[in-house]
Amino acid sequence: GIQVEQSPPDLILQEGANSTLRCNFSDSVNNLQWFHQNPWGQLINLFYIPSGTKQNGRLSATTVATERYSLLYISSSQTTDSGVYFCAVRMNYGGSQGNLIFGKGTKLSVKP
């Protein structure tokens, strides 16, 4: 099956720093989402981005589908950005009914 690899697994930042999280996937996809799982376990939708670039405030994301990777940029990080960031993809061909396949996540800790 498709493999989804996220890096780095852990990241510690000082408040105000910028960071880039990476998601590599092993096969063609037609759905890619980035989530932030807060300390209470809620998965918060950040981006639905099967291709191209999107921005939302201090966050932006880029997916290069032909090269099978996506990047999540966090600028001017805040302590509330702490949590686990997941990348999830859906395969681009049969056998899948649409379920997302998740990476193992990047655990981000932002220190004041």
Partner 1 sequence: GAGVSQSPRYKVAKRGQDVALRCDPISGHVSLFWYQQALGQGPEFLTYFQNEAQLDKSGLPSDRFFAERPEGSVSTLKIQRTQQEDSAVYLCASSFYSGGHDEQFFGPGTRLTVL
Instruction: Name the one range near partner 1 by CB under 8 A: 18-26, 54-62, 70-78, 97-105.
Output: 97-105
13 contacts 112 by C-beta, under 8 angstroms: no
The residues in 21-80 that bind partner 1, with binding defined as CB under 8 A, are: 30-31, 33, 35, 40-43, 45, 48
User: In this chain, which of 76, 79, 99, 109 binds partner 1, going by CB under 8 A?
Assistant: 99
Residues in the interface with partner 1 (CB under 8 A) total 23
Q: Which residues of 32-48 are buried (b: 16+ CB within 10 A; e: fewer)?
A: bbbbbeeeeeeeeebbe
Structure tokens at 29: 């996809």
Instruction: Name the one range near partner 1 by CB under 8 A: 10-18, 55-63, 68-76, 93-101.
Output: 93-101
34 contacts 61 by C-beta, under 8 angstroms: yes
Does residue 100 bind partner 1 (CB under 8 A)?
Answer: yes
Does residue 103 bind partner 1 (CB under 8 A)?
Answer: yes
Q: Which are the contacts of 41, defined by CB distance < 8 A and separation ≥ 6?
A: none
- Of 90, 95, 48, 96, give the one whose Cα is nearest residue 72: 48
Binding site for partner 1 (CB under 8 A): 30-31, 33, 35, 40-43, 45, 48, 86, 88, 90, 96-105
